[in-house]
Amino acid sequence: MAKTIKIATWNINSVRFRIAIVEKFLTDEAPDILCLQETKTVDDSFPAAAFEQLGYTHQLLCGQPMHHGVAIVSKLPLRNRSCFDWQANGEARHIGARLDCGFRVDNVYIPAGGDIPDRKLNPKFGQKLDFYERMTEWSRDLDEPALLVGDFNVAPLESDVWGHKQLLKVVSHTPIEVETMARLQEANGWVDLGRHFIPPPERYYSWWSYRAKDWAKSDRGRRLDHMWASPDLAGKAVAHEVHEPIRGWEKPSDHVPLVTEFRV
Q: What is the DSSP letter of 120?
A: T
3-class SS of residue 163: coil
**Burial (Cβ within 10 Å: 0-12, 13-18, ≥19) of residue 257:** buried
Q: Does pLDDT of 1 surpass 90?
A: no
Q: pLDDT digits over 104-143, tens only?
A: 999 999 999 999 999 999 999 999 999 999 999 999 999 9
Percent of residues, the chain, with pLDDT higher than 90: 97
Mean pLDDT in residue range 16-37:
98
Radius of gyration (Cα) for the chain, nearest Å?
A: 17
Mean pLDDT in residue range 176-190:
98
The answer to whether 104 touches 98, Cβ cutoff 8 Å, is yes
Percent of residues, the chain, with pLDDT higher than 70: 100
Q: Does pLDDT of 250 surpass 90?
A: yes
Q: Does pLDDT of 178 surpass 80?
A: yes
In sequence order, the 6+-apart residues with CB closer than 8 A to the CB of 192 are 185, 226, 228
Mean pLDDT in residue range 229-248:
98
Mean pLDDT across the chain, nearest whole number? 97
Q: Does pLDDT of 4 surpass 80?
A: yes
3-class SS of residue 61: strand
User: Residue 192: its pLDDT value, please?
Assistant: 98
CATH topology of domain 4-263: Deoxyribonuclease I; Chain A (3.60.10)
* Of the candidates 130, 133, 113, the residue with the CA atom closest to the CA atom of residue 122: 113
User: Residue 153: its pLDDT value, please?
Assistant: 98
49 conformational bin, left if phi > 0, alpha if psi -120 to 50, beta if neither: alpha
Q: pLDDT digits over 206-230, tens only?
A: 999 999 889 999 999 999 999 999 9
In sequence order, the 6+-apart residues with CB closer than 8 A to the CB of 64 are 42, 91, 92
Prediction pTM value? 0.97
Q: Does pLDDT of 31 surpass 90?
A: yes
User: Residue 81: its pLDDT value, please?
Assistant: 95
User: Residue 213: its pLDDT value, please?
Assistant: 86
Q: Does pLDDT of 236 surpass 80?
A: yes
Domain boundaries, the chain: 4-263
Tell me the backbone φ, ψ of residue 33, rounded to 5 degrees: -140, 140
The answer to whether 49 touches 60, Cβ cutoff 8 Å, is no
Half-sphere exposure at residue 98, Cβ-oriented, CA atoms within 13 angstroms = 9
User: Residue 66: its pLDDT value, please?
Assistant: 87
Q: Does pLDDT of 2 surpass 90?
A: no
Q: pLDDT digits over 62-97, tens only?
A: 999 989 999 999 999 999 999 999 999 999 999 999
